[in-house]
Structure 1
Amino acid sequence: MKHQLKTATLAASVALGLGLTGVASADDHVLEVVTDPSFVPFEMMDQESGEMVGFDMDIISELAERAGFEYNLRTMDFNGIIPAVQTGNVDIAIAGITITDERAEIVDFSDPYYDSGLRILIGANDDSVQELEDLNGKKIGTKVGSTSYDFLEKNLGDSADITPYPGSSDMYMALLGGSVDAVFYDAPNVGYFSKTKGEGRVKVVGDLYEGQQYGIVFVKGSEWVEPVNEALAEMKADGTYDEIHAKWFGSASGE
């Protein structure tokens, strides 16, 4: 797994001028950050540069610069991310992670940085599905460890054939190949696929289900939660957040 060192601007030390001793080295501010490589357009691998790009990657880069840390970036399947933070194997996770009460019991979250929800994706020529209830008796693809999987299990249970896939690309390929009748997943990812690789072959239907908010994840008790929240608030106040949003999704006010 490729590790990337992301440089961020650190505030110049004035400790010597103040006569302080025992100043922490820059290495003390190098954090381990993990993401999911398949949640486009939040995070994805740029095939030309071999580096991770996307909305979340721009967000964490800006937050690091403002909060005062550098980071090593690594990737892993989504279902392993929360356990990795919980056990302290990584310091921070950013991967379109929905804030839930259950997760908040074992990790800390930043303030919300993105409003989302869940949507249904079906074949372009399929007129049999218009809302969640129409998925009864259908084969549905979703993602392992996601809130969309939990939602399906709770609301459809044994009335549908629910298949969790390790990556979002896997469930989309299953839909295009006819292995599943529908995909149920995070709205921005579903929408992005429908307008890119799935254009003309799939369509989004139904309401936005289970209004959600994404948060950045930290080890319980992390000292970086407050600095990151302060940096996030600054980004929203000075327009930087809107600029990053417009780059990947269009105007933030148009959601």
Structure 2
Amino acid sequence: MKKIIWFAMVSMVVLLGACSSGGKETSNDSKKEVIQSIQDSGKLVVGTSADFAPFEFHTMIDGKDKIVGVDIDLANEIAKELGVKVELMDMEFNAVLAALQQGKVNLAISGISATEERQQTFDFSDNYFAPPQKMVINKENANELTSLKSFAKKKVGAQKGSVQEDVVKEQVADAQLVSVAKVPNLIIELKQGSIDGLVLEETVANSYIENNPELMLADVDLVSSDEEAYAIALPKGEEELQKKVNQVIQELQSSGKMDEFIQKNTELAKKAEE
């Protein structure tokens, strides 16, 4: 009887061990590298907030609403390198990184700066654009708003979730920060006088000023840092995808195509508002 019981117990252990081993092999077999997964799906899913001309914005092409911009051209070049097409997910800026963290998108490309805080959660590509920060105001207030001190107790806008919020907090400390999700809404508030100033990256600021002649850049100095340069956000640990992305960025910069993207989309943004 003892032998029978002992044999049954050994058999059970062997059976359980086999089941456990088999399950582990199945798990490993089903696990795919992210690049292979992207290629298998045939698409690179990119999160962006298309209200940031000339980097990402809506315009009409052949009677259809399209999302275009420097970042979109960059996304298309990365997709081409991977042999797939781009699928864009347009959302509010402060939701873009959340979508990346939740696995809803493969990359976040939306004028994103690789701040120390963000680097704790995400990996980033090499920087592809270093934007000076500028203050946009109404021309009618040009004689009044001539220094950062003149913005004391004034309302200064910045896009919600952006580094421009930190610029206001740290460099225009006596002002009241007004955070809004969409840049076009901030432009409207500035034109209506609901806010007194708006911090934007220079290229974006000039794009909106071109189409809103009552606005201008204030003659005040805002300090830019390396943390404010734009980079592509990736999930933590995706080193092979990061290498591919950096390879594309380096090729675009060395060939001059990145500058071409900026010039082309700046002109396109002007036409979009005509």
Query: SS at 2:224's partner residue?
Result: strand
Name 2:100's counterpart in structure 1.
Answer: 85
| Alignment match of 1:180 (pick from 195, 204, 207) | 195
After superposition, give the CA deviation of every residue in 1:21-64 in whole Å (9 maximum; x if it has no partner): x9x68424523211101011111112332110111111211222
Q: Distance in 1 between matches of 2:147 and 2:70?
A: 29
Query: SS at 1:218's partner residue?
Result: strand
Letter in 1 for 2:45: E
Q: Is 1:124 the counterpart of 2:166 in the alignment?
A: no
Q: Is the CA contact (8 Å cut-off) linking 2:69 and 2:265 kept in structure 1?
A: yes
Cα gap change, 1:101/1:195 in structure 2, threshold over 3 Å: closer, same or farther?
same
Q: Is 1:144 the counterpart of 2:160 in the alignment?
A: yes
Cα gap change, 1:228/1:117 in structure 2, threshold over 3 Å: closer, same or farther?
same
Name 2:81's counterpart in structure 1.
Answer: 66
1:69 shift after superposition: 3.6
Name which of structure 1's ranges 147-156 and 116-125 shifts more when overlaid on structure 2. 147-156
What is the aligned residue count? 225
| Alignment match of 1:76 (pick from 69, 91, 99) | 91
Letter in 2 for 1:44: F
Name 1:230's counterpart in structure 2.
Answer: 247
Q: Distance in 2 between matches of 1:188 and 1:98?
A: 15
Name which of structure 1's ranges 217-226 and 107-116 shifts more when overlaid on structure 2. 217-226
1:6-155 superposed matches below 5 A: 26-28=39-41, 30-47=43-60, 48-126=63-141, 127-155=143-171
Cα gap change, 1:208/1:187 in structure 2, threshold over 3 Å: closer, same or farther?
farther
Q: Distance in 2 between matches of 1:59 and 1:234?
A: 11
Q: Is the CA contact (8 Å cut-off) linking 1:35 and 1:75 kept in structure 2?
A: yes
1:145 shift after superposition: 0.6
Q: Is the CA contact (8 Å cut-off) linking 1:187 and 1:208 kept in structure 2?
A: no
Query: SS at 1:46's partner residue?
Result: strand
Structure 2 unaligned blocks of 5 or more: 1-31, 268-274
Asked which structure has the greater CA Rg, the reply is 2
1:66 shift after superposition: 2.4
Structure 1 unaligned blocks of 5 or more: 1-21, 251-255
After superposition, give the CA deviation of every residue in 1:131-172 in whole Å (9 maximum; x if it has no partner): 322211111121111111122223444x32211111001111
Query: SS at 1:72's partner residue?
Result: strand
Q: Is the CA contact (8 Å cut-off) linking 2:113 and 2:163 kept in structure 1?
A: yes
- Give the structure-2-normalised TM-score: 0.76
Letter in 2 for 1:129: L
Q: Distance in 2 between matches of 1:134 and 1:55?
A: 34
Query: SS at 1:122's partner residue?
Result: strand
Name 1:15's counterpart in structure 2.
Answer: none
Cα gap change, 1:152/1:238 in structure 2, threshold over 3 Å: closer, same or farther?
closer
Q: Which structure: greater helix fraction?
A: 2
Q: Distance in 1 between matches of 2:235 and 2:84?
A: 16
Query: SS at 2:99's partner residue?
Result: helix
Q: Is the CA contact (8 Å cut-off) linking 1:38 and 1:169 kept in structure 2?
A: yes
CA RMSD of aligned residues (A): 2.0
After superposition, give the CA deviation of every residue in 1:98-128 in whole Å (9 maximum; x if it has no partner): 1211111111111111110321111112111
After superposition, give the CA deviation of every residue in 1:167-189 in whole Å (9 maximum; x if it has no partner): 00111100101111111222221
After superposition, give the CA deviation of every residue in 1:67-115 in whole Å (9 maximum; x if it has no partner): 4343321100000111211222211011111121111111111111111
Q: Distance in 1 between matches of 2:263 and 2:204?
A: 16
Q: Is the CA contact (8 Å cut-off) linking 2:55 and 2:110 kept in structure 1?
A: yes
1:200-211 superposed matches below 5 A: 201-205=214-218, 206-211=220-225
Name which of structure 1's ranges 84-93 and 169-178 shifts more when overlaid on structure 2. 84-93
Q: Distance in 2 between matches of 1:156 and 1:237?
A: 36
Q: Distance in 2 between matches of 1:172 and 1:149?
A: 15
1:130 shift after superposition: 2.2
Sequence identity percentage: 28
